[in-house]
Amino acid sequence: MNGSELRACALQCLLETDPVLKAGKVAAMSAAWLAGELALEPDAAMPGSAAIPGRPERPALVAPRLVGRRSMATVEGRAMLIHALAHIEFNATNLALDALWRFAGMPPDYYTDWLRVAREEAIHFSMLSAHLQTLGSEYGDFPAHDSLWEMVERTREDIVARMALVPRTLEARGLDAIPPLRAKLAQAGDMAAAQILDRILQDEIGHVAIGNHWYVYLCGQRGWEPRPTYDELAARYRAPALKGPFNLDARRLAGFTEAELDNLA
């Protein structure tokens, strides 16, 4: 890695435009951190805003309604779905890298947690991208939308809002969505894709748990009640309304309280 400070390396990874190189750099950063080769300066100011992450020229970004329907009855339909999931994981990698470098002054465990998220999201992207190639397509072949990153951009100045509305709101929706998608892929005979989604679901429970942990921590630091604070942040930043059915078991494992789950119901 160029540089010896974790957050500086995370920014370098965020700005990388090639998805394969980005995944490789994230893996190298994680290995260097585990080997004690990177320092942490959590209070250091970082140059630039990096409001737009490094990304390839393709896929074309369109409104969600223009992404297209995905029929599991055809190879192309399954490829479109795997492509959409790969794009989510690519954005999630950038999301974790942004959380790593952007917010100063957090405890060391915060940076360790988000480095873990970045590494696992990059692995998810690589797995889905490789499977996409077995279906005759590559990442970038289909249009995609940018809804996840739009919320990252809105919350760039507010770490409490970031923790509330990205991992524990938008990413938590993945906990609800993955099981039915997995069932459709399995029914279509694509067991390799179904097994990838099994891995992703288990990792994503941990990622949402990290968001929950740091959201509650930050509310405690400020003397705020988490539930009313969440409602206020969701309204202020125009978070999407949550719609069921909900994967309550996965959400419970990810750290949502019974009161929050009752409120969803």
Q: What is the pLDDT of residues 58-104, one digit of tens each?
A: 998 777 776 667 778 899 999 999 999 999 999 999 999 999 999 99
Taking residue 232's Cβ as centre, other Cβ atoms within 10 Å add up to 13
Residue 219 has pLDDT above 50, yes or no: yes
* d(C-alpha 93, C-alpha 89), whole Å: 6
Asked if residue 48 is part of any domain, the answer here is: no
* d(C-alpha 10, C-alpha 6), whole Å: 6
The domain total for the chain is 1
Asked if residue 54 is part of any domain, the answer here is: no
> Residue 203 — very low, low, confident or very high, per pLDDT cuts 50/70/90?
very high
Burial of 79 (0-12, 13-18, 19+ CB in 10 A): buried
Predicted pLDDT of residue 1: 45
Residues in the chain: 265
Q: What is the pLDDT of residues 179-200, one digit of tens each?
A: 999 999 999 999 999 999 999 9
Helix H segments across the chain?
A: 6-15, 19-34, 75-102, 108-134, 147-154, 159-165, 172-187, 191-222, 226-236, 248-253, 258-264
- What's the whole-number mean pLDDT along residues 229-243? 94
Asked if residue 76 is part of any domain, the answer here is: yes
Asked if residue 180 is part of any domain, the answer here is: yes
* d(C-alpha 163, C-alpha 157), whole Å: 12
Asked if residue 59 is part of any domain, the answer here is: no
Asked if residue 124 is part of any domain, the answer here is: yes
Residues 155/168, Cβ–Cβ less than 8 Å: no
Q: What is the pLDDT of residues 110-146, one digit of tens each?
A: 999 999 999 999 999 999 999 999 999 999 999 888 8
* d(C-alpha 127, C-alpha 26), whole Å: 15
Q: What is the pLDDT of residues 124-133, one digit of tens each?
A: 999 999 999 9
Q: 236: domain range?
A: 6-43+65-264
Asked if residue 221 is part of any domain, the answer here is: yes
Find the Cα–Cα–Cα–Cα dihedral 147, 152, 153, 157, rounded to 10°: 160
Asked if residue 211 is part of any domain, the answer here is: yes
Predicted pLDDT of residue 49: 56
Predicted pLDDT of residue 265: 75
pTM: 0.93
Residue 240 has pLDDT above 50, yes or no: yes
* d(C-alpha 95, C-alpha 134), whole Å: 27
Computed on alpha carbons and rounded to an integer, the radius of gyration of the chain in Å comes to 18
The tokens for 172 are 């938590």
Residues 15/53, Cβ–Cβ less than 8 Å: yes
Q: What is the pLDDT of residues 27-54, one digit of tens each?
A: 999 999 999 999 998 787 766 555 568 8
* d(C-alpha 235, C-alpha 237), whole Å: 6
